[in-house]
Amino acid sequence: MKAWSDIGFEIEITGDLSPSLRLLASLDPSKDRGESMHHSGGACTETLLIYGEPIKEVLHNVEKPHFLIVGLGLGYIETVIAREALLQNKAPSDIGLITSYESVPELRKFFFKWLHDKNEVLHAEVTATYEQMLASVLKGTTLTPEAVKLFLRQHFAKEEDIFGSLSKEVRLVAKYHCILYDAFSSKTSPYLWEEGFLNAFLEQGAAKSCILSTYACKGALKRALKNQGFQVIVREGFQGKRNSTLGIKS
């Protein structure tokens, strides 16, 4: 059974006591640790701030919405989609699609095994991290962990339902009403933030009515959004982080 360190990560407990993962290896020679998936101030709080409101709005306004997540990570965004849907008394069938991309094979495998309660094949450390993530997302609600997992199982029935790397030649399976762009930074995942790629990605994947939300605020991203008919809204970043971006197309 592989622990996080066996696949190149370490657990990081953030300021709101929710877990995140950090790469052990750094691409920057001046730093001894790699990039973290979330702000140290709070992985769950940051996720809810950047992605929670767009998810809630799309669930409220769009019939059978399609969600696209770039960067599964620990599954925070997928879990928040289930949380917000359940809080609006929606069934799994009320969501058309949840499509997630994750380049690290073990993250896809771990999340799927945990979601389907196959914890006997997971390292105890891995299972505990997911349980802590889910408890953080559900804090302040009356929802049960099992309700959220049952909801998501309907959309991730097979391990292959979680896609691998979002390649330059990707062919998306649908048009999406909500795109939640949570890829690692341009230092770690360069082409995912290139203007040409983003233009092609949005042209292919954005529905006529679409919201894109991301923690980033890069010039290439904003130009691509505008070029594809989005109104660009620059939002305050999380706890002093650089600004985040919201794109709205209607």
The boundaries of the domain holding residue 131 are: 41-249
**Which pairs with CB-CB distance under 8 Å and at least 24 residues apart come from 20-29?**
20/74, 21/73, 21/74, 21/129, 23/188, 27/187, 27/188, 28/187
**Lateral strand order in the sheet of 244-249:** 162-163, 97-101, 66-70, 176-181, 206-214, 244-249, 231-235
* 208 found inside a domain: yes
Could you tell me the CATH number of the domain that includes residue 61? 3.40.50.150
For residue range 182-219, list pLDDT tens digits in order: 988 777 778 899 999 999 999 999 999 999 999 999 99
* 26 found inside a domain: no
User: Given a cut of 70, is residue 175 above it in pLDDT?
Assistant: yes
Considering only residues 170 and 92, tell me which one the structure prediction assigns the higher pLDDT.
Answer: 92
What's the number of domains the chain is made of? 1
Say which amino acid occupies 239.
Q
First to last CA, the chain: 47
Mean pLDDT to the nearest integer, 70-99: 98
* 197 found inside a domain: yes
pLDDT at position 91, please? 98
Give the residue carrying structure tokens 């101030």.
Answer: 41
* 22 found inside a domain: no
* 33 found inside a domain: no
